[in-house]
Chains A and B, each alone.
Chain A
């Protein structure tokens, strides 16, 4: 059964379909009912509610949650003139530009180190690096709120002890620094995941190729830069999509760690949507922001899903 378990790993998302025969003539009523009811429910909750949300974004509120009037694109105009919207977009872009390469780079380094270390150390170290990824963002945000604490936090007190002189950075209180502190902590949380993906990629490279390169006299460095890492492309793409989607919809971690502060310096799109919809009860505007967020995520995900589903047919 262990062999079966190993087989069901697959990446990218959908990679192949067995020759399976069409068995609908043997159709069974109980299974069909479960399938139909669950699909209708899931599609209603996914596509129905997304459609509802899009509709809502083209209305204006009449003061009550349940009564709206169509109002064209005024909610989208509102986004255009909302200064916090621009800051949020810029911060999402910063996540894309720093958090993604940071997580992929560190993940590659960890994966290569784990591969060199070999089976003995691999499991233990991989378990340690991946631990943060398994935890709730509320947990990791709470941990980093304490790590970054100005007076008592580990980061400042440890650096002070190591350097032998007072070292105090206001990690979460300085509007010029807070976003970088957030990104650093997120790289800590996600790099174990990227390492796991890349390590699985390295393991999928045929042993014979590695040996051939060794016989040709390739050094360890050449082996990884010339042979191994170029072959990780599909795995890097897969991790990239996961990180990209996260960079666009990041919410809980930032909500708990900085709540967008200090000021509005760490606002991101999902946090802005949450504040506008649920604190200021401007549901149509919140719906418009959610629609923008959804459009961005879907324009990354759908091409990737189509690409990987086409890949499996070849």
Chain B
């Protein structure tokens, strides 16, 4: 039953929701308007004569960038999750001397500003022959993903009761067997949490892309940022590009949001 307090609460929440959604709405309306209509109408008014032209034009401009982003994002998400799963298992369930210190030292890696490594990273990737390549982007994102992925899996395995593993231990199973037969199959929720977190973070990245790639190897984030710099007058194309680049993350957010929220609550950091 709604009393006065909750009615007012809902009113405020609804007004705020409109404010929060306003930028999204204006992206959508503008992306569907012709150049002429962008200039003639205000952005919050829906298009009177919706056109697909801006979306097609933006897609054409961003095609290569989207393919690049999709490739290194998928591979780096997969690799960093798998590595994190093994590391998290060992640091939680096997342990060794100083494993807590190792874990703490690794955790610092979650927070470091990538500006502090980006200049040497150019030299490292160049020397390794992977500068300006999808492979290079995959390696860099996988490596810098290891700390957060290890953290996600360590948390998960910390909560897994020892008793589940003990029966296997008594039977003399090796840690590898226990990992493969018991821990790995049980850890699917951790894989989803880590996977959606990594996919969205890597897809959203800008710094590595803008420094470590050029021309046709640039990720979608950099292509879109360049678009804003060069076609500022064509707001409909710019907003169409914004819409297209945001789409995969919005889809993940709407479908798997509750897993993404678990990742955010782990105290992880953006940027």
Contact = CB atoms under 8 A, between A and B. Distances in A.
Interface residues of B, number: 109
A238 B268 CA distance: 10
Nearest to B188: A1
A118 B107 CA distance: 35
A14 interface: yes
Contacts of B167: none
Range, interface on chain A: 35 or more
Given A297-B112, A298-B111, 8 more contacts: A10-B266, A24-B94, A28-B179, A42-B144, A113-B13, A252-B207, A252-B221, A298-B108
A307 B23 CA distance: 39
A157 B42 contact: yes
Nearest to A136: B204
Contact of B246 (A9, A139, A157, A301): A139
Nearest to A302: B108
A58 interface: no
Nearest to B122: A65
A13 B253 CA distance: 23
B38 A152 contact: yes
Interface in B201-229: 203-207, 211, 221, 224-225, 228
A128 B17 contact: yes
B200 A305 contact: no
Interface string B133-149: 00000001001101100
Contacts, number: 336
Contact of A20 (B44, B93, B113, B119): B93
B112 A46 contact: yes
A187 to B, nearest CB: 11
A171 interface: no
Interface string A121-161: 10001011111111111111111111101001110011001
B158 A53 contact: no
A208 interface: no
Nearest to A289: B115
